[in-house]
Amino acid sequence: MIFGWMNQFAQSKRSQIIFFAAYVVLTSLGLYFIQDSVIAFLLLLFSILILYYLKLSNKAKWIMGFLILAILVPLSASHGSAYQSYMEVGTLVGIYAAMSLGLNIVVGFAGLLDLGFIAFFAVGAYTYGIFASAQASKFMPFGHYPLPGDTFWLFIIAGALIASIFGILLGIPVLRVRGDYLAIVTLGFGEIIRIVLNNMDHPINITNGSMGISSITPPDFFGISIGNSSQFYYIVLAIFMVVMYIVTKLEDSKLGRAWKAVRDNEIAAQAMGIPLVRTKLAAFAIGASFSGMMGTVFAAKQMFVDATSFTYLESTMILVMVILGGMGSVPGVILGAAVVTILNTQVLTEISNWLNQLSTTGAIAIPDALSPAKMQRLIFGILLIVFALYRSQGLIPHKNKKVNAEELKKAASEGSSSPEAGSPSPETALVNESRTTGGVDL
Amino acid sequence: MNILEVRNLTKQFGGLTATSNINMDVKKNSITAVIGPNGAGKTTFFNMITAVYKPTSGDILLNGKSLVGLKPHQVSKFGITRTFQNIRLFHDLTVLDNVLVGMHQRLKSHWAGTLLRLPKTRHEEKEAKVAAYKILQYVGLADYVNENAANLAYGAQRRLEIARAIAAKPRVLLLDEPAAGMNPKETKKLTDLIHDMRTRLDVTIILIEHDMKLVMEISDFIYVLDHGELIASGIPEQIRNNKRVIEAYLGKGAVSNAQ
Ligand SMILES: Nc1ncnc2c1ncn2[C@@H]1O[C@H](COP(=O)(O)OP(=O)(O)OP(=O)(O)O)[C@@H](O)[C@H]1O
Ligand SMILES: [Mg+2]
């Protein structure tokens, strides 16, 4: 596999950096000069994956990744006529990657299968849609609507908060059930949210029902109205970076360990003092908040929302991104989101168009029933089956973070363990009160 | 002084009485064994102490305070942790992370502290890793810190369960068949470990075990269950020669046949 080969190459730092720089320069020049080259665009994006495998410090990777995505990609793409469509793809990848990272917390870390995840995206989208359009004036007793575009930035946070409240609302009843039942209940929840949004036009018109909400105010950035994909790209990139930071930090923390402990063995996790309900609700709430933020961006970008964007198929698609990328694996899930999005928006459309062309010229015979859109789904389905069979752990399988055993050994022999780490928890008064002995350091 | 007192503890599963009117007094810092044939109700007894099951009736007192009605995670906060007969490790986590989860309720850091990278949180996390490493050294698993728990050999998994349980700094440690599946050499090491934990960690140990050699060698006091009833209790010498105990293990008539 290409991944294995890259790992091998990982020995010499210098040759790696030279190779990487050459790769990035070549692909960006390619994208700059060969107009509308999808291949060059994809190859440039691929550099992020290479970067992940390089033997550099995390900080260096973060900075380089940011520079490539924030400067190099937009700059190289800006030359051709397909600039906006490339940036649109980049924006979509960012939106789906952030949502996949959210679902990954729920499914990959905490082991709770959620088949209705798109509901939180819908909640975020409608939150901005309603208040940033004339819709809110139909039921709000006070205030002037639409709210101006500079409130958008607050709505990103509001979208996150409201979505996480919905995450908790979903969690409370759902956590009584497990496994298959949980999956079914979440599926139902997703559909209920969609149907409710689709019907909340009477008795009070809140969502405008199946007509959807149109003329949503675009965001306003210090007087600049943000309208095209090359601008939304930066908003999405910024949110994605924040999401990425939160996920990587939480994964290797007390909460992250608690999620995985609950996933691996609920009874043992509880016996170790992990409160089951609170831990699962935290997963639902944090996962949902990422979706809520991106929902807000989605509504602002489309300037229109209706319930058809939030079907069960969309929930499945995000789950596919997580599973295809590698459940529980942060880089895997991001790659999964990128691959699925690019397949759906670029590669598969090209392939099915090409096949269609062949069929009209009579080179091959495709049944009429198989329209290009259906053809696209068919190829996508076949690809999924192939992946499930030959790479069932995902594109980048999850790996546990390793600690530096030598360092720990040294620290342990120095006896640097402080009393804080060893003192009993103050959380329950009873413990403090009755726990005078016990808890001796080794 | 008794650290744990059990009063008329009864558990019924439908029509089946798994334990019936059990009374026990466990001395602080003692090693107490609970033995009995298969299905006697020993694990059920542990499950009631750790709130996995709610007792049908009766009471469990830790230092005079009732534990009945607590949630399982609260029992751990009160200072009781356990190992499981059918190993329940976090199999996809590393050995070190398993021990760190054991420390869960002792770590004060909050997710907000993690995200803000507060020095206090980072310090606590670092110290916790060192402390976890020390515990692994103590049980002899320091070479496997980065290994997934699922990849350990059976005996090592049992020791990791103990490491995880003592990471919580319990005052009472419940061991459910810790020697099951171990060879004699491993069992010897385990015996030493249990002895050492009692003094070094100042912990009270209650263990369920079928290995009679280990039980007789290690226990200060033994309780014998059979069909959910407490049929005998005493120091090892008393239990070894108790007629009812021999009958319970070998079947009725075994004693008279032997004579
Ligand atoms: N959740 C449950 N539901 C129904 N019956 C149960 C349950 N748990 C235990 N039992 C029954 O209670 C009785 C006591 O079981 P328990 O597991 O406590 O025995 P044990 O003494 O630990 O046996 P062993 O030495 O085989 O581990 C058994 O008859 C068992 O089938
Ligand atoms: Mg048992």
- Rounded to two decimals, the ipTM of the complex is 0.93
Q: Per-residue pLDDT averaged across A238-256, rounded?
A: 95
pLDDT score at A432: 34
Identity of the residue in A254, A411, A442 whose CB atom sits nearest the CB atom of B135: A442
Residues in chain B with CB shorter than 8 Å from the CB of A417 are 127, 130-131, 134
Shortest CA distance to A101 belongs to which of A297, A264, A391, A328?
Answer: A328
pLDDT score of B209 more than 70: yes
Q: Note the pLDDT tens digit of each residue in A115-163.
A: 999 999 999 999 999 999 998 888 888 888 889 888 999 999 999 999 9
SS3 A303: coil
* pLDDT band at residue B100 using 50, 70 and 90 as cut-offs: very high
Is the pLDDT confidence value at A430 over 70? no
Q: What is the pLDDT of residue A39?
A: 82
Half-sphere exposure of B18 (CA within 13 A, CB side): 19
Indicate if the pLDDT at residue A270 is higher than 80. Answer: yes
**Residues A20-51: pLDDT tens digits?**
889 998 888 888 888 777 788 888 888 988 88
pLDDT at B46 over 80: yes
User: What integer pLDDT is reported at residue A172 of this predicted model?
Assistant: 87
Mean residue pLDDT across chain A: 86
| Least confidently predicted of A413-422, B97-106, B119-128, B246-255 | A413-422
Whole-angstrom Cα distance, residue B131 to residue B167? 8
**A337 and A97 Cβ atoms separated by less than 8 Å:** yes
Distance separating alpha carbons of residues A419 and B7, to the nearest angstrom? 37
For residue A387, the CA-to-ligand 1 centroid distance in Å is 43
For residue A441, pLDDT beyond 60: no
* Chain A: closest CA distance from residue B19 (Å): 21
- The domain segmentation of chain A, as residue ranges, is 1-81, 85-338, 402-442
Provide the pLDDT for residue A125.
Answer: 96
Distances from the Cα of A357 to the Cα of A36, A39, A366, B164, angstroms: 20, 20, 10, 63
Categorize the per-residue pLDDT at A377 as very low, low, confident or very high, splitting at 50, 70 and 90.
confident
Which residues are within 8 A (CB) of A442 and not within 5 positions of it... i.e. 6 or more apart? Answer: B131, B134, B135, B138, B200, B201
For residue A113, the model assigns a pLDDT of 92
- Determine what percent of chain B is predicted with pLDDT higher than 70: 97
Percentage of chain A surpassing pLDDT 70? 91
Pairing of strands A220-221, A224-225: antiparallel
Length of chain A: 442
Q: Give yes or no for residue B153 CB within 6 A of ligand 1.
A: no
Residues with CB under 5 A from ligand 2 (ion): B 43, 85
Give the residue-averaged pLDDT of A267-284. Answer: 95
**A360 vs A383, higher pLDDT:** A383
Q: Does residue A265 contact residue B88 with C-beta atoms inside 8 Å?
A: yes
Q: Does residue B255 have a pLDDT over 60? A: no
3-class DSSP state for residue A281? helix
Cα A165 from Cα B41, distance rounded (Å): 44
Q: Which residues are CB-neighbours of B163 under 8 A, at least 6 positions away?
A: B98, B99, B102, B135, B136, B138, B139, B141
Answer yes or no: is pLDDT of B205 > 90: yes
Confidence category of residue A10, pLDDT binned at 50, 70, 90: low
Residue nearest atom 18 in ligand 1 by C-alpha distance: B41
CA B17 to chain centre: 22
- List all residues 6 or more positions away from A198 whose beta carbon is below 8 Å from its beta carbon: A207, A209, A210, A306, A307
Lowest-confidence segment of A170-174, A192-196, A260-264 by average pLDDT: A170-174
A341, two tokens: 């999005």
A248 at interface of B, judged by CB pairs closer than 8 A: no
Q: What is the pLDDT of residue A373?
A: 75
pLDDT in tens, A65-96: 999 999 988 888 888 788 888 899 999 999 99
Residue B38 CB less than 6 A away from ligand 1: yes
Minimum-distance CB partner of B134 among A249, A273, A442: A442
Residue scoring higher pLDDT (A27 or A261): A261
d(CA A156, CA A17): 37
pLDDT digits (tens, 9 = 90+) for A336-362: 999 999 988 878 877 877 887 887 787
